[in-house]
Amino acid sequence: MALVPCPLQRIPLSAGCPCLKSAAARVLLCALAVCLLWPALPGRADSQIILFENYVRGMPRERVLELPGAFDCAEQLGSEAVCRNGARYLDHGWDMDFAFDQQGLRSVSLRTPFVRSVYVRAFAALDERFELVALQSSEPTLDLVALWRNAPHAGYASKQMTEYETRAMQRRELVYVFLERSGVHQALKKAADVRDLLGMARPDTRQAALALLHDADDREWIVLQYDLAREVNQGK
């Protein structure tokens, strides 16, 4: 079954989202709309699930605000959001956005102006621990699990991926969607498509997204976002 498109994918990613309407806005947390379809799974309360580095699922908002460079940006991003400037990752400076729910920290995002070498390093870093499972843009999502399972030969699948990437890069709105390898390694051998894979994955499997996006001022951004896959795709 195809992945369910998000509302933001029905419009240009540089318009229609409050985060993208001014140069001063905290631009990309609401633009990175990664919505797969997740079957109902038993809930799991685990405050020790690491989303990214030392940021743990359920971490209190007050603790995040104590970090150097952190500040309240709920007025710009809503939902008790916290932002942090000047974080270091991959030997590069990033700004960060943190989203919360009633349980505490739910999602961690990093963003920086586009630099090709940083973009390549970010992809390589994800590829070490995550499996690439989908490509997203304003076009219908490309389900890579189904593509590789059903392709008549490897060259066909590679061609489909390359053409999709090329079109999305030209529009500067490409999102790579990954699932944590340790949570889906065995399931990948059996899954027919991404929905099937999600249904077999461990409930604590992380989802990561690497996006190339542009804002209303035509600036290009790299965005990394980390969530629990089951929570993103249940829309919790």
Q: What is the pLDDT along the chain (236 residues), one digit of tens a residue?
A: 223 223 222 222 222 233 333 333 333 434 444 444 433 333 444 447 999 999 999 999 999 999 999 999 998 888 799 999 989 999 999 999 999 999 999 999 999 999 999 999 999 999 999 999 999 998 999 999 999 999 999 899 999 999 999 999 999 899 999 999 999 998 998 999 999 999 899 989 999 999 999 888 889 999 999 999 877 666 44
167, part of any domain: yes
Is 1 domain-assigned?
A: no
pTM score, whole prediction: 0.81
Does 134 reside within a domain?
A: yes
The answer to whether 20 touches 14, Cβ cutoff 8 Å, is yes
Is position 2 within any domain?
no
Expressed as residue numbers, the domain containing 150 is 7-234
Instruction: Tell me what pLDDT residue 233 has.
Output: 67
C-alpha–C-alpha distance, residues 33 and 11, integer Å: 12
Q: How many domains does the chain have?
A: 1
In a domain, 76, yes or no: yes
List the structure tokens of 208.
């990561």
